[in-house]
Structure 1
Amino acid sequence: MKTFKLKLLNIMEEKTGEIIPNQIPLLDGLIIDREDENNQWTIEVYTDNSFQPYFEFLQKTKSEILVQVKISKESNDLATFITSIIGINEIGSNINILFVGNIVDKRKENIEFLLTTLIEEGYQGKELLEKFKELT
């Protein structure tokens, strides 16, 4: 297992047909790559207890919750996960929320999309490789 500092958490919500990030102010947090056979990660969020009703609502109404996080440094890119809430715990006047889920590998999706597009445009062999290098 690998453990990282959680620097930012966005709960991605659908509003009027758009996906909007709802940034949760963190008091602290961790993200753990469990390195298990299911490639699951655990996200632990420590925040103000005023968010407890919100997270309880999400836990009861959503089987899958799309989240974006920043790991280790504010300057890092956002990572996207499909998660579910497995626990909400009161800790003094704050709460922690435990998510478990899988990372969405956008880079792989983007590469697959680019390659598919180039193949559909008729590129193949060396020409495909050269065009791919040019665009990446």
Structure 2
Amino acid sequence: MTEHVIRQTKQKDAVRKALHASGDFVTAQELHRQLEDEGSTIGLATVYRQLNMLAQVGQADTIQLNGSQMFRMCDDRTHHHHLVCTKCGRTVEIEPPDETWLRKTAAAHGFTVSSHTLELFGLCKDCQMAQ
């Protein structure tokens, strides 16, 4: 059996630290710009690769928002769900509906549940007040 080894590099560390510091969902372009502003010479393609790798191994969440793939480093390794502001990207982890409700809803439509994700999108209080 081949074990997948994840090498630790300076660039990988920089992406991981910047994603963790951002707190909310960000695009690869936003994270790349932030790294450049801090003096990093990391390329955009490298940022994309590192973010996708983090998502693939379960160390970061990823969602699609307004046609862009967005990433967020989550400290909690358990299954979780989010409220996401569609304007500023602010993110709050929330409790999902219970498993019984999920399975009952699926069964009512002739489905079985193999997995689920739940992301609620809207405007946070600050963005609502700014309108």
Structure 1-normalised TM-score?
0.25
Choose between structure 1 and 2: higher strand proportion.
1
